[in-house]
Amino acid sequence: MTYSAHVYRMVATAVVGAAVATAIVLGVVSVAATGAQGVRVLGIDLLAWILIAPALGVALAGGLVLVFLRVIDERRDRGLAYIHDQVAAIRDGGGALPRSVVGLSEVDDVAGDLARLAGELAQQRAVDRDFAADASHQLRTPLTALLMRLEEIGQTDDLEVVRDEAAVAVTQVERLTGVVDTMRTRSKGEKSQLPEISLDSVLAGLQREYQPAFTAAHRTMRVQGPPGLAVRAAPVDLAQILQILIENSLDHGAGRVEIEMRSSGGSVVIEVRDEGEGVPSAIAPHIFERSVTSHGSGLGLGLARQLAERNGGRLELVRAQPAVFAVFLSGPGSR
């Protein structure tokens, strides 16, 4: 009920209450004076009672109305205070504040709309923060690799090497474009049919892309498994998952990085391992949480798991020391 409706109801109640109180007082006085002439009730003449009774009724009803209006005003003030606090929270980047219904529809409706708006804005800010963090993580290493490749092109006079390196650089740029497009689509919550793609082509591209980085680190990467395996996943997402795992091994592991793929029932498993010390026992149970990091690796691994789940698969740490990560994806023909 609105504030105005409450006021109108209180006024109507006051009128009815005054009439009822007047009737009761006059009735009592009339009963007391029945059969008598010139009788005084409570020391007051009957004619005076005719004037006093309405005044008493109005005073009684008016007092009750004032009490009710005070209660309504307190409710309205409480609702308006919440609205003020919620607006301030939205301005400061906060979310929805806890609230209680005050019983005034115009106040409750505005407060409810503000709370929903605050929740939506907080969710959008979280999406924007994740987008910025993911973009930074996913683009940093490919851009570095691209820069290294362009520098190598600038340092050679062999046209054959220039052509080969330029072709790889173009592929990297195309993949970066795909990464940005995929992230924009993902941030809008859009979903698309997962295509069937070859693992060989994705891994071959990553090997070419990371070859300069492994060479600079005096390390190697080996891919093993039966040729011709295919999975159902978005090519850019799968490349990003494997890129994050390779990057994690390159930055935080040691020795040779091995990528092994195999078919398991209707699924395909891709394991990535290295010869380093692995993941500390205290961090291992939380390694995929975005807020947890092991020298900067947490954000990427959390993102990789999210991408795997988006493609109907999963990413697990199957062994902590030495670290072995496994990606499980649907094989050909799966839906």
pLDDT value of position 313: 93
Residues of the chain under the 70 pLDDT cut: 1-65, 127, 130-138, 140-142, 178-179, 182-192, 290-299, 333-335
In degrees and rounded to multiples of 5, residue 95 shows phi and psi of -100, -160
pLDDT value of position 262: 93
Asked if 65 contacts 11 with a C-beta cutoff of 8 angstroms, the reply is yes
- E-strand spans in the chain? 40-41, 44-45, 196-198, 221-224, 230-232, 257-264, 267-273, 314-319, 324-330
Closest CA to 8 of 72, 60, 54, 78: 72
Give 82-128 as a DSSP string: HHHHHHHHHHTT--PPP----S-HHHHHHHHHHHHHHHHHHHHHHHH
Cα Dmax for the chain: 134
pLDDT value of position 77: 83
Q: Which fold has domain 195-335?
A: Heat Shock Protein 90 (3.30.565)
Distance (Å, whole) CA 28 – CA 241: 90
* DSSP element (H, E) containing 243: helix 235-252
Q: How far is residue 236 from each of residues 21, 29, 177, measured CA to CA in Å?
A: 81, 93, 10
Neighbours of 96 (CB within 10 A): 18
pLDDT value of position 29: 52
Distance (Å, whole) CA 268 – CA 135: 27
- Domain residues of the chain, as ranges? 3-123, 195-335
